[in-house]
Amino acid sequence: MNIKTIITDINDKYFEKLEVIKGKLLINTQDKTEIRVAQSLGIEVNPYDIRDGVLWSSSGNLLLMDENTGSLTIPDSVTSIGEGAFSNLEGLKTIIIPPTVKRIEQNAFKNNTTLENVIIQERNGEGVEYIGGSAFESCKNLKSINLPDTITYIGASAFRFDSNLDNIKLPKNLRELSQFAFGNCSSLKNIKLSEKLEFLGDQSLRSIGITSLKLPANLKTIGEGALLISTLQEIDTSESNYFEFKNGILYSKDLKTLVMALSNVTSINIENSTETINAYAFRECDRLSTINITENIRSIGGLSFSNSALKNITVSSKNNYFMNDENGNLYSKDGTILYRLFDTGDVTIRNGVENIERGALLDNGKIKTLTLPNSFIGDKTIEYQIFPGLDYLMIPKNVKTIAKHAYFRVKSIEVDEENPYLKSINNEYILSKDGTELYWVKSDLLEANIPDTVEVIKEYAFYYSEAEEIKLPNSVKKIETTIVGFSNVKKIEIPSSVQEINSSAFSGANSLKEVVIHKKNDGTLLGSPWECIYGDRAIIWDN
C-alpha cells in the first residue's frame, strides 16, 4: 500500500511533491493553484524553504497567512527563523512563533510595516533564546510582543524605530541588550531592566519615553549614549554594585567615570575624583551653558559636548591633559586633538591639530567653510559625520585614509595633490593614490562611473548615495562592510571578478532589493545574503 492507494484522485504531478514531516503528510509547493487543490484533498501544505530547521527567506513565506486576519503560525519543524525571512513583506499582522524556534536571525522581520502583534510561545522552559540584529527594526505598527524568559540575548537595533511599542517586559534571563536595541522607540513609557542584565550596549535605550529607571545590581557596562533619553528625570542606583547617581549625574561606583548627565540639569559640579567623561555625557543637556573641566579629568569621549546650548568650557589650571585657546575652544594639552569648537563662519583649524573628535563641529549651519592644517592626519577621524554639512573640504597632504561615514555630509571633497596616499577625481571620488581602493563617492551623484582600476570597495563608499543603481567594474575583487548603507540604491551589479564580500556588506541598505552577482553560486562567495534586508530573495546568481 502507498499514498496513491489511499488518495486515489491525486494527480501524478502532485505526488512527487508530497513529503512527510514529523509524521504529517504535506505537499511542498508555492503554487497557489496547487495549494488550493491540496487543501481540497485534506493534505497539509508546506510552501516554506526549510533547511536543517532554518526557515529561509522565500517568496512563499506568506502563502499560508490567513488573509482575513493577517495571522500566520510558524510550523513547529522550524528551529530558526532565517535572515530576512519576513522582511519587507506586506499584509502580515500577527506572527505566532512556536517553542521549537530557538533563534530569530537578523533582519527577520525588518521593515514589516503591517506587523502589529508577535506571539513567542514558550513550553517547559523551551523557546526563543536569541533575537538577532534588526530582527524587528522599523516595524512601525508593532504594538505588542511578549519576550519569554528563555531569551538571553537581544541584538543590535532589534526593535529600533518601533514607534508604537509602549510597554516592554524584558526577559528575566536577559544578559545583553545590544546597541540601539530599543533606540528611538519613542512611545516606550515603561521598561524594567532584568536582574541578570550585565550589558547595555551603545544607545540601546536612546530616545525612549521613560522618566525613571532602576539599574539592576549586576549591570556592569553602560555603553556610549545607552541612556540618551531626554525625558529621563531619575535613575535609581540603590541596588547597583557598579554605578552611583548624584545631583543629576550618573557615575561609576568609585566616581572616577562620569557616565552621563540628565537633560534637566542646569549646572554641573563634577566630582574631584572623576578622571573620565564618557561619550555623549552631556549630549541631552539643553539647559547647560557652562562646563568646567576639573583637575583630574584625563579622558573625554566623543560627542560629550555636542549640545548646542553650551557656550563655554573652562579648564582647571591644574589639569595636565586639556586646554582652552583664546576663543574658548577645547583641545588636548598638546594641541593635537580638537574636542569642541565654538568658532563660526569661515573657520581655519589651528596648526598642530591632528584629529577632530566626534561632535567637535556642531551641525548648526554656523560653520560656512573649513580649512584643515597640514598637521591634520585624521587617523582617528573615522567616526560618524565628523564634518557636518560642509559645501567643500580639502583633505591635507598627510591624511593616509578616510572613512566615508565621517565625510558623507560634505558636498565636495578635494585631496591635496601633494598627498602621497589619496587622490580625488573631479571632487566626486576619493581613491587610494594607485587607484585600487575606492573610499568615497559624492552622495548626490545619480550615476557613479567607478574607475576600472578599483579593486577594493572600502566600507561606507556609497553611504547615503542618491543613485538607484550601481554597477561595479570588472576590476573589483573585494567588497567591504556597509558599502551602500542608508542609500537609495535599489540594485547593485557585482562582477565575476569579486572574490570576497564582507558579511555585513549590505547592512543598512533599506532600499536594496536586487543584488545581481555575475558568477556561479559555487560556494566561493560566502555569507549570502550579506545582511541584505530582503534576505536571499534579493540575491540573483547570474552566471
pLDDT in tens, 328-377: 999 999 999 999 999 988 899 999 999 999 889 887 778 878 899 999 99
Average pLDDT, the chain: 90
Paired with 31 in beta bridges are: none
b/e code 424-446 from CB counts within 10 Å (16+ = b): beebbbbbbeebbbbbbbbbeee
Q: What percent of the chain has pLDDT over 90?
A: 75
User: CB of 415 within 8 A of CB of 422?
Assistant: yes
Specify the pLDDT at position 60.
82
Question: What is the three-state SS of 5-43?
Answer: HHCCCCCHHHHCCEEEECCEEEEECCCHHHHHHHHHCCC
Specify the pLDDT at position 33.
67
pTM for this predicted structure: 0.86
- Tell me the mean pLDDT in the region 278-283: 94
Q: Could you give phi then psi for residue 367, rounded to 5 degrees?
A: -95, 120
pLDDT in tens, 192-231: 999 999 999 999 999 999 999 999 999 999 999 999 999 9
At 385, the pLDDT band (50, 70, 90 cuts) reads low
pLDDT in tens, 450-469: 999 999 999 999 999 999 99
pLDDT in tens, 70-123: 999 999 999 999 999 999 999 999 999 999 999 999 999 999 999 999 999 999
CB-neighbour burial class of residue 391 (10 A; exposed 0-12, middle 13-18, buried 19+): exposed
Task: Decide if pLDDT at 381 tops 60.
Answer: no
pLDDT in tens, 22-60: 455 566 665 666 666 666 666 666 677 888 999 998 878
Q: Could you give phi then psi for residue 214, rounded to 5 degrees?
A: -110, 125
Task: Decide if pLDDT at 316 tops 90.
Answer: yes
pLDDT in tens, 250-280: 999 999 999 999 999 999 999 999 999 999 9
Sign of CA dihedral 323, 329, 334, 339: positive
Q: Are strands 54-55 and 50-51 parallel, antiparallel or unpaired?
A: antiparallel
Q: What percent of the chain has pLDDT over 70?
A: 90
